[in-house]
């Protein structure tokens, strides 16, 4: 069962009663998404490597908040965005509408997404002149793609609820789709995850966390 709840910064998230966890931080869904994924992921990548187009792979598309903020930013900067989100349990259009995320992005982007969302499931759809989106409806280890990505947003549920998503096989699989110099970001940081990524040839750094978390992890593929 899914329940809409408000987080500490006033933005909404969804609580999954079966998993026992929110889709975003209770300390602030919007703040977490902006800090961990937009700022520390996409904007960091673009600060290191100037680019007119960027590819993002997200693990756990969920409510679409990370996509909305990334797409809105790319539209403003006139950067082409190719976005692929893996989601084993896609939300329906009405549940996403109820999040109220339209107040954080342009009306055109929100309206286009609402009109096209169901057709993005396992199909790449042009949302507007700058953004393409595909929602891949399958489990992480079943994901395959000939495409390589500039940035990976790893936004799975916490390891205490979904340990298999943070295991060696899952992490090695998902980072195999990163380009050299590609960036992997996630809201969590553990010694095990750092060791895994270093063993896979990444430079790993601690970055300041979103509200409620002291640190987060960012890793760059060598």
Q: What's the confidence (pLDDT) of residue 206?
A: 95
Distance CA 171, CA 152 (A): 11
Q: What's the confidence (pLDDT) of residue 93?
A: 94
CA-CA distances (angstroms) from residue 111 to 33, 62, 68, 115? 21, 18, 11, 6
Q: What's the confidence (pLDDT) of residue 57?
A: 98
Cα–chain center distance at 153 = 4
What architecture (CATH level 2) is domain 27-221?
Answer: 3-Layer(aba) Sandwich (3.40)
Determine whether 166 is exposed, middle or buried from the number of CB atoms within 10 Å of its CB (0-12, 13-18, 19+).
Answer: buried
**Residue 206: helix, strand or coil by DSSP?**
strand
pLDDT tens-digit map of 69-123: 999 999 999 999 999 999 999 999 999 999 999 999 999 999 999 999 999 999 9
Q: What's the confidence (pLDDT) of residue 185?
A: 98
Q: What's the confidence (pLDDT) of residue 164?
A: 95
Q: Which pTM value belongs to this model?
A: 0.98
Of 61, 46, 29, nearest to 212 by C-alpha is 29
pLDDT tens-digit map of 128-141: 999 999 999 999 99
Domain boundaries, the chain: 27-221
CB contact set of 117 (below 8 Å; sequence gap of 6+) = 64, 93, 96, 135
pLDDT tens-digit map of 50-66: 899 999 999 999 999 99
Contact (CB, 8 A) for 145 and 177 = yes
Dihedral sign computed on CA atoms, order 21, 27, 33, 38: negative
Distance CA 5, CA 142 (A): 31
For the record, the structure tokens of 103 come out as 């107040």
Q: Percent of the chain at pLDDT above 90?
A: 98
Distance CA 3, CA 201 (A): 40
Of 26, 59, 52, nearest to 141 by C-alpha is 59
């Amino acid at each position: 069962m899914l329940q809409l709840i408000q987080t500490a910064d006033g933005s909404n998230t969804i609580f999954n009663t079966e998993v026992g966890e929110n889709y975003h931080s209770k300390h602030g869904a919007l703040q977490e998404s902006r800090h961990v994924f937009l700022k520390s992921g996409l904007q960091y990548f673009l600060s290191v490597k100037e680019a007119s187009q960027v590819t993002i792979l997200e693990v756990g598309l969920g409510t679409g908040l990370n996509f909305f903020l990334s797409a809105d930013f790319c539209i403003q900067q006139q950067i082409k965005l190719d976005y692929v989100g893996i989601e084993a349990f896609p939300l329906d259009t009405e549940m996403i509408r109820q999040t109220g995320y339209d107040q954080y992005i342009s009306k055109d982007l929100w309206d286009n997404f609402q009109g096209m969302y169901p057709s993005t499931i396992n199909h790449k759809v042009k949302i507007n002149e700058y953004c393409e989106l595909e929602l891949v409806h399958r489990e992480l280890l079943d994901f395959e793609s000939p495409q390589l990505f500039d940035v990976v947003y790893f936004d799975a549920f916490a390891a205490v609820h979904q340990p298999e998503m943070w295991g060696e096989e899952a992490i090695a699989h998902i980072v195999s789709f990163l380009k050299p110099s590609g960036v992997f970001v996630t809201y969590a940081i553990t010694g095990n995850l750092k060791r895994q990524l270093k063993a896979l040839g990444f430079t790993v750094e601690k970055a300041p966390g979103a509200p409620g978390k002291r640190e987060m992890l960012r890793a760059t593929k060598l």
